[in-house]
Amino acid sequence: MGEKLLIAGNWKMHKTPQQTVEFFQEFNPKVEGIDEVEILICPPFIDIPAAVEATQGTNIKIGAQNCFYEKEGAFTGEISPIMLRAAGCQYVILGHSERRHIFGEKDEVINKKVISALEEGLRVILCVGETLQERESGLTFTVVESQLKLGLSGVEDKLDQIDIAYEPVWAIGTGVAAKPEDAQEVHAFIYSVLNKLNPEKASKVRVLYGGSVKPNNAEQLLSQPDIKGVLVGGASLKPETFAEIVKIGQRLSNK
Ligand code: PEP
User: How far apart, in Å, are the Cα atoms of 56 and each of 10, 12, 28, 100?
Assistant: 19, 22, 10, 33
State whether the beta carbon of 95 lies less than 6 angstroms from ligand 1. Answer: no
> Measured between alpha carbons, how far is 235 from 241 in angstroms, rounded to an integer?
6
**Is residue 57 over pLDDT 90?**
yes
Evaluate if residue 2 carries a pLDDT over 50: no
Closest residue CA from atom 3 of ligand 1: 233
Compute the residue count for the chain: 255
Transcribe the chain into DSSP letters: --SSEEEEEE--S---HHHHHHHHHHHHHHHTT--SEEEEEE--GGGHHHHHHHTTTSSEEEEES---SSSSSS-TT---HHHHHHHT--EEEES-HHHHHTS---HHHHHHHHHHHHHTT-EEEEEE---HHHHHTT-HHHHHHHHHHHHTTT-GGGGGGEEEEE--GGGTTSS-PPPHHHHHHHHHHHHHHHHHH-TTTGGGS-EEEESS--HHHHHHHHTSTT--EEEESGGGSSHHHHHHHHHHHHHHHT-
**Smallest CA separation from ligand 1 atom 1, residue:** 233
pLDDT tens digit sequence for 107-149: 999 999 999 999 999 999 999 999 999 999 999 999 999 999 9
User: Of ligand 1's atoms, which has the minimum distance to the CA of residue 165?
Assistant: 3
Distance from the alpha carbon of residue 41 to the mean position of ligand 1, in angstroms: 13
**What residues does 126 pair with on adjacent strands?**
94, 164
Q: What is the mean pLDDT of residues 212-227?
A: 97
CA distances for 168 relative to 40, 186, 231, angstroms: 21, 10, 12
| Annotated active-site residue in 38, 96, 130, 187 | 96
34 lines ligand 1 (CB under 6 A): no
Indicate if ligand 1 lies below 6 Å from the C-beta of 230. no
Residue bearing the CA closest to ligand 1, atom 4: 233
Confidence band for 255, pLDDT divided at 50, 70 and 90:
low
Tens-place pLDDT, residues 188-208: 999 999 999 999 999 999 999
Nearest CA to ligand 1 atom 7: 233
pLDDT digits (tens, 9 = 90+) for 9-30: 999 999 999 999 999 999 999 9
Q: Hey, whose CA ends up nearest to atom 6 of ligand 1?
A: 233
pLDDT tier for residue 1 given thresholds of 50, 70 and 90: very low
Q: Ligand 1 in contact with 217 (CB < 6 A)?
A: no
Q: Is the CB of 172 under 6 A from ligand 1?
A: yes
- Which candidate in 38, 130, 134, 167 is catalytic? 167
Does domain 5-253 sit in CATH 3.40.50.720? no
Active site residue 167: yes
Among 66, 212, 237, name the best residue to mutate to test ligand 1's pocket (greatest count of ligand atoms within 8 A of Cβ).
212
Residue 212: pLDDT band by 50, 70, 90 thresholds?
very high
